[in-house]
Amino acid sequence: MASAMLQFKLCVPFPSSREAQIAHNSLCPDAEPRKGGVSKTLNVTDNILHVNWTADEARILRVSVSSFLEHLSLVILTIDRFGPPLDNP
């Protein structure tokens, strides 16, 4: 009997599309290996960072989401610390 895949979706609004793109670029340099039982995709629409996970097991999903949220927190703190980005990418 095949087990159902677990999914988790997160939408993170940023003050500007530029900040959302900076977060995207900082958080997705490497894709997660599929052999780990979890996959994650990131994309940006306007000023919103969308993150989607699919996992085989709840434990693996929880670890991946928790790790991502720690990194996201650091990116947000860094953006806040250095102020709004310049319009020129």
Domain of 44 in residue numbering reads as 6-82
In this structure, is residue 54 part of a structural domain? yes
The contacts found for 26-30 with CB under 8 angstroms, 24 or more apart, are 26/71, 26/75, 27/68, 27/71, 27/72, 27/75
CATH code of residue 76: 3.30.310.50
Query: With 80 as the cut, is the pLDDT of residue 87 above it?
Result: no
In this structure, is residue 89 part of a structural domain? no
pLDDT at 1: 43
Torsion of CA 83, 30, 70, 65, to 10 degrees: 130
Q: What is the pLDDT of residues 7-54, one digit of tens each?
A: 999 999 999 999 999 999 999 876 666 567 899 999 999 999 999 999
Q: List 31's β-bridge partners, or say none.
A: none
Task: Give the position of tokens 């670890």.
Answer: 63
In this structure, is residue 88 part of a structural domain? no
Type and span of the H or E element at 76: helix 58-82
In this structure, is residue 1 part of a structural domain? no
